[in-house]
């Protein structure tokens, strides 16, 4: 498959423009006079009358007569003039004199319907909502001029809105000054059994602000293997016109992703659209890796954890028992009972940590309860077990804090991850050497998994940390020294050499762009006679005496391996670093340093935007669960993609939706009718 460039027109049959059908199927616009005129049927079918809604005067309404006479009447209708005061509203902002002003109010049907589309999408409401009597009653009270719409019309409006916003997002991606990073993950809807792929684009805009947009939430066709997913991703990038602007892709540890990445690398190499032969291309989700590491360790501490889990479940199972527990905690132990006992979800280790933390808070109350409730005694812990729980909780807190950074809702820049991962690595080494023997088997198993992935993602994390002015190379050297001791220099040298190779590519790219601009501006400066001699002079065939090596020698000296002057990277590394724990916006730092470090700032912008976790794509699955419910399982995949993507784009523009919004309880089979009126949508 050949990937199209960003300037190549996208063919009509690739699925990208199928949403435009919603616009094309829209009825032609009629004259505005019919907002205030009513068509009347006559006995003679060839004759048509129109009645003024204000004065009830009847006029001819033949198509040959036009509507100019109707407009003239409306402009002079006395009844309409007398009612115009209802079209005026008190302005919300007072005039400069401090007196509230009166402004003309004009109902905009298009704006109102766009607001309804936003309401349906961001609130995950059924399209059938617009046909609900109470909704229509609200709209009639809010604006008597509003005309009721059907669920089919609401569906078309949402698709039109999607097509409009999609073009805006595509324009933003095209204007992105640097490269674009991707996150991708798959999700299976248990209600429809469809396999969805979510692709999210991350980039730094011209104002040096980190941006993200979901650009794909599409149902896949079997087989769900690496080759099929690679084809889907290549098609997506081609449709959005960013196939030559990709820097990295962040994925989980599913085996099919390795096949997919290998296929993508081969295609990008063929198009020369990959840097450093793909050394920075694949990023494994660190949050997913930490999850695997901690789960492997907790399996060996399952006995104590199960006793606490079952004990809390026993207390919370009875409302009376639960209330008595908190009464004892409040009156006898003077604890703040607003902090409740937490029950975990077995598949989420972070909830297990929170459960252990809450049990330690209520430790004395739980011991008191075990002495007086015979049924609870089987869940009571000994003093040694409580001591082990306290150590385990303190141990897991490091992982919990690091995971919170990895899964941050603000999607932090890549430089923040190295310090957290190093703390985890250092903790595992210290625990193995430490006095807590009961943790040793658990930590060894965790360490085995950690080492498996550390080699793969330490390069990107380390390079991003070096570009943080608080860390630079010294902090990376220190961290590796604490882990690898005498072998630390080998790891640091490998990281630094890769960073230099990447920087050299940015330097070459910058010079090629500047030379191409200079060449295009100097084409007319060359003497046409000289150019003719260059082409036809037979003396140019003399390979000996007339060869001038000065230009070639200058080019040789300008190469990174032979130039003696310091590069921007060398100057940056030699400058004093900032305070280690100072609070800075690293993108703001590089924005202000872009004049001094031109090429290096371009590298920093692309490297720091790399997402280290797939949270951006996984959060869309939570959204998808609210869109595809048991009573909305008839939604077609194209409608699901429209709602999920449009909701994400609206959030980026400032529209927010409550996470805990209620589920739609009304029947929703709108796709059986509404979607059939819009041609099939693939993107």
CATH number at residue 626: 3.30.420
Mean pLDDT of 389-396: 88
φ, ψ of residue 218 in degrees (nearest 5): -125, 145
CA dist 573 and 467 (Å) reads 9
- Range 661-667 contact pairs with CB under 8 angstroms and sequence separation of 24 or more: 661/123, 661/124, 661/626, 663/124, 663/626, 663/629, 664/124, 664/125, 664/126, 664/129, 664/629, 664/631, 664/632, 665/631, 666/126, 666/128, 666/129, 666/132, 666/631, 667/126, 667/128, 667/631
Helix axes 109-122, 151-175, angle to 10 degrees: 80
| 114 or 104, which is more confident | 114
Mean pLDDT of 381-385: 90
pLDDT band at 566 (very low <50, low <70, confident <90, very high): confident
Quick one: three-class SS letters along 602-630? HHHHHHHCCCCCCHHHHHHHHHHHHHCCH
CA dist 285 and 96 (Å) reads 56
| Six-digit token string for 409 | 């809702």
Q: Please check whether residue 576 lies inside any domain of the structure.
A: no
94: which strand partners? 100
> Quick one: pLDDT at residue 624?
61
CA dist 316 and 268 (Å) reads 56
Domain endpoint, select from 345, 380, 407:
407
Q: Are residues 51 and 169 in the same domain?
A: no
96 pLDDT more than 70: no
Q: Are residues 639 and 625 in the same domain?
A: yes
| Six-digit token string for 484 | 């690898």
Q: Are residues 221 and 337 in the same domain?
A: no
Q: Please check whether residue 398 lies inside any domain of the structure.
A: yes
| Chain centroid, CA 282 distance in Å | 17
| Six-digit token string for 202 | 């991350």
CA dist 395 and 12 (Å) reads 57
Q: Please check whether residue 402 lies inside any domain of the structure.
A: yes
Q: Are residues 254 and 315 in the same domain?
A: no
pLDDT band at 180 (very low <50, low <70, confident <90, very high): very high
Q: Please check whether residue 126 lies inside any domain of the structure.
A: no
87 pLDDT more than 70: no
> Quick one: pLDDT at residue 100?
57
Mean pLDDT of 493-517: 84
> Quick one: pLDDT at residue 404?
81
Look at the chain and report how many structural domains it folds into: 4
pLDDT band at 442 (very low <50, low <70, confident <90, very high): confident
558 pLDDT more than 90: no
Q: Please check whether residue 21 lies inside any domain of the structure.
A: no
Q: Are residues 351 and 394 in the same domain?
A: yes
Residue of 9, 26, 14 whose CA lies nearest to 159: 26
Q: Are residues 508 and 600 in the same domain?
A: yes
Q: Are residues 607 and 621 in the same domain?
A: no
> Quick one: pLDDT at residue 103?
56
Instruction: Say if residues 178 and 606 touch (Cβ distance below 8 Å).
Output: yes
Q: Are residues 464 and 593 in the same domain?
A: yes
| 514 or 600, which is more confident | 600
| Six-digit token string for 301 | 């501490």
| Chain centroid, CA 190 distance in Å | 23
Ranked by mean pLDDT, the top range of 67-81, 193-207, 504-518 is 193-207
At 94, is the secondary structure helix, strand, or coil? strand
Q: Count the alpha carbons within 13 Å of 146 in the hemisphere toward its beta carbon.
A: 19
Sign of CA dihedral 42, 47, 50, 55: negative
324 pLDDT more than 90: yes
At 253, is the secondary structure helix, strand, or coil? coil
Mean pLDDT of 186-213: 87
Q: Which residues contact 216 (CB under 8 A, 6 or more apart)?
A: 197, 198, 199, 232, 236, 641, 645, 683
Which residue bears the tokens 């909305």? 632
Among 172-181, 195-204, 666-675, which stretch is predicted with the lowest mean pLDDT? 666-675
φ, ψ of residue 556 in degrees (nearest 5): -60, -40
| Six-digit token string for 54 | 């204000």
pLDDT digits 0-9 by tens, 288-310 = 778 878 887 777 778 888 999 99
Ranked by mean pLDDT, the top range of 5-9, 180-184, 631-635, 670-674 is 180-184
Q: Are residues 475 and 603 in the same domain?
A: yes
Domain endpoint, select from 407, 441, 471:
407
> Quick one: pLDDT at residue 46?
72
Q: Provide the terminal-to-terminal Cα distance of the chain, rounded to the nearest Å.
A: 18
pLDDT band at 654 (very low <50, low <70, confident <90, very high): confident
Mean pLDDT of 80-105: 54
Give the pairing of strands 246-251 and 282-284: parallel
Mean pLDDT score of the chain? 79
CA dist 410 and 192 (Å) reads 31
Strands (E), 265-415: 282-284
Q: Please check whether residue 489 lies inside any domain of the structure.
A: yes
Based on its alpha-carbon atoms, the radius of gyration of the chain, rounded to whole angstroms, reads 33
pLDDT band at 540 (very low <50, low <70, confident <90, very high): very low
Domain endpoint, select from 65, 88, 111:
88
| 391 or 436, which is more confident | 391
pTM, entire model = 0.72
Which residue bears the tokens 């509230």? 100
611 pLDDT more than 50: yes
- Range 373-376 contact pairs with CB under 8 angstroms and sequence separation of 24 or more: 375/314, 376/311, 376/314, 376/315
CA dist 591 and 413 (Å) reads 14
Q: Are residues 299 and 326 in the same domain?
A: yes
214: which strand partners? 200
Q: Please check whether residue 28 lies inside any domain of the structure.
A: no
Q: H/E element holding 52?
A: strand 48-52
Instruction: Say if residues 197 and 216 touch (Cβ distance below 8 Å).
Output: yes
> Quick one: pLDDT at residue 533?
32
| 280 or 96, which is more confident | 280
Mean pLDDT of 432-457: 78
pLDDT band at 338 (very low <50, low <70, confident <90, very high): very high
Give the domain extent around 484: 410-512+584-612
529 pLDDT more than 90: no
| 156 or 455, which is more confident | 156
Q: Are residues 331 and 250 in the same domain?
A: no
3 pLDDT more than 50: no
CA dist 547 and 325 (Å) reads 95
CA dist 474 and 472 (Å) reads 6
| Six-digit token string for 361 | 């808070």
Cβ-based neighbour number of residue 228 at 10 Å: 18
CA dist 485 and 108 (Å) reads 70
pLDDT band at 608 (very low <50, low <70, confident <90, very high): very high
> Quick one: pLDDT at residue 283?
86
Q: Please check whether residue 645 lies inside any domain of the structure.
A: yes
Instruction: Say if residues 601 and 594 touch (Cβ distance below 8 Å).
Output: yes
CA dist 390 and 402 (Å) reads 19
pLDDT band at 606 (very low <50, low <70, confident <90, very high): very high
Percent of the chain topping pLDDT 90: 29
Q: What per-residue string of b and e applies to 275-314 under the rule 16 or more CB within 10 Å gives b?
A: beebebbbbbbbbbbbbbbbbbbbebbeebbebbbebbeb
> Quick one: pLDDT at residue 623?
60
> Quick one: pLDDT at residue 410?
58
| Six-digit token string for 351 | 């909830």
Q: Are residues 273 and 299 in the same domain?
A: no
pLDDT band at 573 (very low <50, low <70, confident <90, very high): very high
| Six-digit token string for 355 | 């459960």
């Amino acid at each position: 498959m050949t990937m199209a460039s960003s300037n190549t027109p996208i063919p009509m049959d690739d699925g990208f423009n199928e949403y435009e059908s919603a616009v094309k199927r829209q009825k032609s616009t009629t004259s505005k006079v019919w907002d205030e005129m009513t068509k009347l049927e006559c006995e003679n079918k060839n004759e048509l009358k129109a009645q003024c809604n204000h004065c009830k005067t009847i006029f001819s309404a033949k198509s040959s007569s036009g509507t100019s006479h109707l407009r003239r009447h409306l402009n002079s209708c006395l009844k309409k003039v007398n009612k115009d005061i209802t079209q005026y509203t008190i302005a919300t902002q007072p005039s400069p004199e401090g007196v509230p002003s009166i402004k003309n109010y004009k109902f905009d049907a298009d704006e109102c319907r766009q607001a309804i589309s936003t309401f349906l999408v961001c609130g995950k409401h059924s399209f059938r909502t617009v046909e609900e009597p109470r909704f229509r009653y609200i709209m009639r009270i809010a604006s008597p001029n509003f005309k009721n719409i059907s669920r089919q019309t609401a569906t078309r409006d949402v698709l039109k809105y999607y097509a409009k916003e999609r073009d805006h997002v595509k324009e933003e991606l095209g204007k992105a000054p640097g490269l674009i990073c991707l996150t991708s993950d798959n999700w299976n809807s248990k209600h429809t059994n469809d396999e969805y792929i979510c692709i999210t684009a991350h980039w730094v805009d011209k104002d040096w602000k980190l941006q993200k947009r979901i650009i794909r939430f599409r149902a896949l066709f079997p087989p769900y293997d690496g080759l099929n997913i690679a084809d889907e991703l290549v098609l997506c990038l081609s449709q959005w016109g960013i196939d030559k602007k990709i820097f990295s892709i962040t994925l989980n540890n599913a085996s099919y992703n390795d096949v997919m990445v290998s296929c993508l690398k081969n295609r990008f190499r063929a198009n020369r659209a990959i840097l450093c032969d793909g050394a920075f291309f694949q990023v494994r989700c660190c949050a997913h890796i930490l999850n695997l590491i901690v789960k492997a360790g907790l399996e060996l501490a399952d006995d104590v954890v199960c006793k606490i889990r079952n004990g809390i479940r026993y207390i919370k199972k009875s409302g009376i028992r639960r209330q008595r527990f908190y009464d004892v905690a409040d009156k006898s132990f003077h604890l703040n009972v607003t902090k409740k006992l937490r029950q975990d979800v077995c598949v989420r280790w972070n909830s297990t940590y929170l459960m252990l933390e809450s049990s330690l808070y209520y430790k004395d109350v739980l011991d008191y309860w075990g002495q007086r409730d015979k049924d609870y005694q089987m869940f009571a812990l000994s003093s040694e077990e409580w001591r082990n729980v306290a150590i385990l909780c303190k141990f897991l807190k490091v992982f919990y804090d690091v995971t919170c950074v990895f899964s941050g809702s603000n999607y932090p820049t890549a430089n923040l991850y190295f310090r957290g991962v190093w703390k985890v690595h250092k903790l595992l080494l210290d625990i193995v050497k430490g006095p807590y023997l009961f943790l040793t088997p658990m930590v060894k198993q965790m360490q085995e998994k950690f080492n498996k992935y550390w080699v793969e993602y330490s390069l990107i994390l380390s390079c991003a940390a070096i570009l943080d002015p608080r860390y630079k190379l010294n902090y990376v050297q220190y961290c590796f020294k604490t882990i690898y001791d005498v072998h630390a220099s080998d790891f640091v040298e490998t990281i630094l050499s890769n960073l230099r190779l990447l920087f050299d590519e940015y330097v070459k790219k910058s010079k090629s762009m500047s030379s191409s601009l200079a060449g295009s501006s100097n084409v007319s400066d060359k003497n046409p006679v000289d150019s003719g001699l260059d082409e036809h002079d037979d003396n140019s065939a003399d390979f000996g005496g007339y060869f001038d090596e000065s230009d070639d020698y200058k080019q040789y000296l300008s190469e990174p391996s032979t130039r003696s002057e310091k590069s921007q990277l060398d100057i940056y590394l030699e400058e004093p670093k900032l305070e280690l724990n100072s609070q800075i916006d690293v993108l703001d730092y590089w924005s202000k340093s872009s004049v001094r470090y031109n090429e290096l700032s371009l590298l920093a912008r692309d490297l720091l935007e790399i997402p280290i976790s797939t949270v951006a794509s996984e959060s869309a699955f939570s959204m998808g669960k609210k869109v595809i419910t048991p009573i909305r399982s008839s939604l077609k995949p194209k409608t699901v993609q429209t709602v999920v993507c449009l909701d994400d784009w609206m959030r980026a523009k400032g529209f927010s939706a409550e996470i805990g919004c209620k589920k739609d309880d009304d029947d929703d089979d709108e796709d059986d009718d509404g979607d059939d009126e819009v041609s099939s949508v693939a993107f």
